[in-house]
């Protein structure tokens, strides 16, 4: 069986070329992404190998794309923004990602953290992400088929957690994995904020006085669901 992306190459040609990816990074900079470490990571990861070959020509557009199983690969700006909020100008030792999907954000996080722990509830996407990460020879990622909406049963202590699915409340079991000063970044749609169903990119920081919440951009993600599939 051919490796996904085989025949396309990591450099790509035309609309999947290094030059096209560099233009994407310049667009992200113009749209307010300021963290040069994150921008460098976005430039290093060939997004076109994470999507079906028929969609590769659109890989560097700033839009989500379908990856199967009712899921999407997030638009580049969202990936960069969540990574920037998670990093917050710091060096990251460990990051936990909830919702691996096709592995694109995982690959970006692997450029900016020493170790990435990532879980995905849909086994078909676990297998797809594993093939993509192997194709790029990314070795600082631990990928598991697991339910990220609950306690993972792992002895983890990380600097940041990124949840790549929309929640209606802060998943409290995940907070125990954060080190002091650690940050949880997630799309959150509270039912009591007067904007029912509107997801806001939210950061929960483990400050010395207790968890501190900051609300940022309006976003739209698939829902965070329990159980395995």
Q: Could you read off the pLDDT of 174-187 as tens digits, one per residue?
A: 999 999 999 999 99
- The answer on pLDDT for 156 being more than 90 is yes
Of the residues 11, 63, 74, 191, only one is catalytic, namely 74
Residue 74 falls in the annotated catalytic set:
yes
- Assess contact for 220 and 165: CB atoms under 8 A: no
Helix 104-112 / helix 76-87 crossing angle, nearest 10 deg:
30
What would the pLDDT profile of 103-144 be if each residue is shown by its tens digit? 999 999 999 999 999 999 999 999 999 999 999 999 999 999
Question: Whole-prediction pTM value?
Answer: 0.90
Residue range 14-219 forms a domain whose CATH class is: alpha beta
Distances (CA, A) of 132 to 126, 138, 141: 10, 9, 12
CA angle 26, 39, 34 (to 5 degrees): 80
- CA–CA dist 104, 81 (Å, integer): 14
- The answer on pLDDT for 87 being more than 80 is yes
Provide the pLDDT for residue 178. 96
- The answer on pLDDT for 3 being more than 50 is no
What would the pLDDT profile of 186-209 be if each residue is shown by its tens digit? 999 976 554 567 899 999 999 988
Which sequence spans correspond to the domains of the chain? 14-219
What would the pLDDT profile of 26-57 be if each residue is shown by its tens digit? 999 999 999 999 999 999 999 999 999 999 99
């Amino acid at each position: 069986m051919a490796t996904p992306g085989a025949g396309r190459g990591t450099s790509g040609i035309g609309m999947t070329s290094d030059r096209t990816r560099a233009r994407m990074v310049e667009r992200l900079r113009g749209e307010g992404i300021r963290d040069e470490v994150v921008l460098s990571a976005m430039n290093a990861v060939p997004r076109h190998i994470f999507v079906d070959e028929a969609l590769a020509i659109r890989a560097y557009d700033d839009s989500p794309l379908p990856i199967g199983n009712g899921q999407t690969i997030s638009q580049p700006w969202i990936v960069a923004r969540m990574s920037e909020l998670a990093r917050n100008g710091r060096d990251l030792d460990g990051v936990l990602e909830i919702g691996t999907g096709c592995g694109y954000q995982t690959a970006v996080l692997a450029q900016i953290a020493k170790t990435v722990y990532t879980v995905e509830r849909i086994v078909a996407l676990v297998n797809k992400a594993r093939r993509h990460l192997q194709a790029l020879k990314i070795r600082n990622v631990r990928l598991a088929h697991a339910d990220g909406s609950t306690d993972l049963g792992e002895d983890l202590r990380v600097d940041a957690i990124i949840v790549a699915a929309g929640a209606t409340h802060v998943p409290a079991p995940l907070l125990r994995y954060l080190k002091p000063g650690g940050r949880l970044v997630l799309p959150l749609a509270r039912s009591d904020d007067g904007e029912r169903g509107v997801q806001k990119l939210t950061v929960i920081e483990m400050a010395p006085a207790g968890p501190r919440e900051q609300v940022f951009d309006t976003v739209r993600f698939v829902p965070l669901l329990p159980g395995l599939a």
